[in-house]
Structure 1
Amino acid sequence: MSSITLFFCSKSITIQKPLVNGKTFPAYEKYIFGKAVFPAVCKNLEIPLEPYCPSNKADILIVASFGSLISEDYLKNFKHCWNVHPSDLPLHRGAAPLTAAILSEERYTKVCIQTVAPKFDAGQILAQSGVVDTHNYNLLTLGMDAGKIGAKLLSKILDDLPNLDPKDQEGLPSFTKKMKPSDLIIDAEAQSAAEIVRQSRAFHFPCKLLFCGKELHPIGIKEEFTIPKEKFAWQKSKNNKRMVVRCKDDTAFSFQKFKWTLNAHSYESAMGLKQIYIKSK
């Protein structure tokens, strides 16, 4: 294949240091936490970054995790315009396909390479992965796997560039929404334990639970099969002390660790909660 130039377009995002079962996930710590993701990775790999300019030109524009429509005038600067989208298009078009896949009851999703279209995620399919298992993954780990699969698909279609056969998307589309802070709030009276477990895996940020008027961030949420009579109960067994929360449809979830949101006005209340926890041990 003759030499081609690529221009990669992705928004720089900053995320908080996520927790996996109460521990920081180390694999991306060198690049991501507390920094802008994309520039930090490029710097480590010695890939030059160019600022956006209406006159940017290359053979191929590759768009991933961008979240904004790109003007048709800008797209005309490139021979090919492709987008990496982690869903089984036309399912989960929009800003948060992996979050939507985890929140749904679907066990599997896919990764697609599509052409960039005037409407979000409505382009033609250039390549599509096999199924990606979402079970027991959180947003970070599922995103890491989807990113590796997307890179392999890109490499494959670059090698086969002269023979690409774009195909229209088939089936009825579904659409995701941009996530809001309120999506992190746990409502045990309105949600089943299974829904709350999926909710805890679907975001980079910890969910929020109101307990005695105080805001907790449960860590390591698991479905619990010993259902308490009370709404909240501390349960103890050998080497296992946990808070169990009764949910909709006589289900329950549990967690062993938590953090609470502190400010100058809530410090005294939070310390009172700490004493409740200590006395339960």
Structure 2
Amino acid sequence: MNIYLNDLSLHSDKSIIENMPLIIRLKSLIESLSSMTNITLRASRNLWNTPISGFDVMTSQCLKGTSVPYEYATLVKALYSKFLPSVVDNFPYFSESKDMNGKSSSVGMACVESYPVISFTFDEKYAADIISGWLQKNKNEVIAADVNNIFEDKPTIYTHLADINVCRNYNPLENPMWNKELSKKLLKGVDFINQDAKSRQGMLYKYGKMIAEANGWTYNEEISKLNSNSGQLRYIFDSSLSFVNYPIAYISIDMEGPDLAYELCDKKGKHKGECSWNGKMKVPKEYHDIKVKR
């Protein structure tokens, strides 16, 4: 999948030497991402002519005339080399202001293709999970837009990297949790068992939604409400958007278990068993059918 460079985040009033710890951190993040999933880093074709924190990468000179240690210049060039300069400097453009003052074709492509961007954090506004702004698709059309943003190594970023197109290769009733390696990374260090009941329920909802979405399931608000009551809330997801080659199925987060698991139901709402987050299935000891029609 593609990750686009947020070249708007390259500017800084601080020197490249002052910002070097942040540059090294992003380099480490890129290396971590590359080792865990199949990604292509993309940027605009004029990237190498775009200074970073006042440093001209082509000439290895600072715009203010100060010198930069050779090892720093080499590191930045190696970092730029990780991006495939494939985006033409043309529509679509993304800008943080509606008048399109300061715009990026790289971020614009990320918006149109629904891919994330990766940002330096010289400015704290780019240390955010979502960047909001404006998308200009042509000379006459400017619309509000958001783009998912990767800026530090944390579990939630991997949900952006789940290629749910792979779901069409799986039968949701046989492989509801097919994305096992990604699920394992998302749950690394998470302990459901040694929690009090209230804390565990909060964690089951938070990570249950995250793992379901990483495996291509979509939250179904209508079916969830249909199966909830004053004493029990249900969080139900369906397979309709991603597992397109098979009949619809449903999963519901098991809010009462000691670990993260889901109740699996077929298109009629008939319970088919319990599925752990890692894909292990259990034959149901009791049936938890759900309503799929009013």
TM-score normalised per structure 2: 0.25
Between Structure 1 and Structure 2, the one with more helix by share is 2
